[in-house]
Amino acid sequence: MRNMLAIISNVLRGTASRNGAELVSEGARVVVSARTYADFTPQASFDIKKCDVHKLEEGPPLQAVLTREEGLQYYRTMQTMRRMELKSDQLYKQKIIRGFCHLYDGQEACAVGIEAGINLTDHLITAYRAHGYTLTRGGTVREIMAELTGRRGGIAKGKGGSMHMYTKHFYGGNGIVGAQVPLGAGVALACKYLGKNELCVCLYGDGAANQGQIFETYNMASLWKLPCIFICENNKYGMGTSVERAAASTDYFKRGDFIPGLRVDGMDVLCVREATKFAAEHCRSGKGPILMELQTYRYHGHSMSDPGISYRTREEIQEVRSKSDPISMLKDRMLSNNMASVEELKEIDVEVRKEIEDAAQFATTDPEPPLDDLCNHIFYNDPPMEVRGTNPWTKLKSVS
């Protein structure tokens, strides 16, 4: 019996000793972590690529200042976009997401850089590759994912899907190629009319750049000196056609002719941010519209129905990933200038993955909208009205 008690005593003493050691070790880690965070560089300056200019005496600065807080915010947002799009790819292949679905991975620096260069009170309209902008404009991952799966908790109540998402001062998500450009000029006209010193960012792709309505819009915007930043996101391919095969001139930043233009490295979030700030100042000073071409790249195909490797090689995609990835570029800058630690960025990655998984869980369990909601929100702030169904005897109700 005495031997048994001695054994138990030794075990308990050893356990206590180990627990104490663990507590000391944990405390040491906390101290080291706190000391390391205090030693981080609060801000740093980086050389950025010179922009090509059209009808401008000078372009954006060649250096950009990045604070540690900004860097961590940009990193988190870009990682969230990337993981959200990869999860969307997975859900689409499982046939949980249906219909049109155009993914934004590879182009994250465009959305994050643009948002960093304007105000949330400014306005933005884009084409159908809209998930990233819905996030930067204030949408949540849960709302975006639920919209993709057509659920009631989606950002458009499950009735818009991938191409039609909206938030305050964000007008979609538009499915007709190039159609958002004249709409964006209309928003810019409203900004000028109301005199609030706001502007509209109007985005389109290289595939839409040959649309006649875009050139008509250039003309009107220039005549009326509208505060509009026209941005061509040139990701090198319009559907499956390379820009060289589709356009006699691939200098999209010069397409405005009489409108000043910039060609920007769209894979560098700092380059995009500084160019957007420059363009915004141009618009706010009353000089009228300006045009930006962001040279970027999409990793996925045009849409989920496009494997993306029938008109370009896997090696081409891999080369862009290895040499120009926007997230890796920002990460390397921060680590090499002691603005963050590898562990800290890994923690962000873990948090982002959890947020995406939680949102996917919500998006697959939230109920679909009932038929009674089908005709709601046809008009804003109107009394309830009857809407004819598929035949004269079927009546539905619309509530604002």
pLDDT in tens, 329-352: 999 999 999 999 999 999 999 999
What CA–CA distance (Å, rounded) separates 315 from 91?
26
What CA–CA distance (Å, rounded) separates 282 from 227?
8
Do residues 118 and 169 touch, judged by C-beta distance below 8 A?
A: no
Look at residue 39 and tell me whether its pLDDT is greater than 60: yes
**Chain segment 212-266, per-residue pLDDT in tens:** 999 999 999 999 999 999 999 999 999 999 999 999 999 999 999 999 999 999 9
pLDDT bin (cut points 50, 70, 90) of residue 78 is very high
Q: What are phi and psi of 223, to 5 degrees?
A: -60, -40
Mean pLDDT across the stretch 277-292?
98
pTM: 0.89
pLDDT bin (cut points 50, 70, 90) of residue 67 is very high
Element spanning 19, H or E: helix 2-38
Establish how many alpha carbons lie within 13 A of residue 129's alpha carbon, considering only the half-sphere containing its beta carbon.
33
* 168: helix, strand or coil: coil
Number of Cβ within a 10 Å radius of residue 258: 11
**Chain segment 105-151, per-residue pLDDT in tens:** 999 999 999 999 999 999 999 999 999 999 999 999 999 999 999 99
Look at residue 1 and tell me whether its pLDDT is greater than 50: no
Look at residue 26 and tell me whether its pLDDT is greater than 80: no
| 342-365 helix and 68-93 helix, angle to the nearest 10 degrees | 40
Q: Is 100 left (phi over 0), alpha (psi -120 to 50) or beta?
A: beta
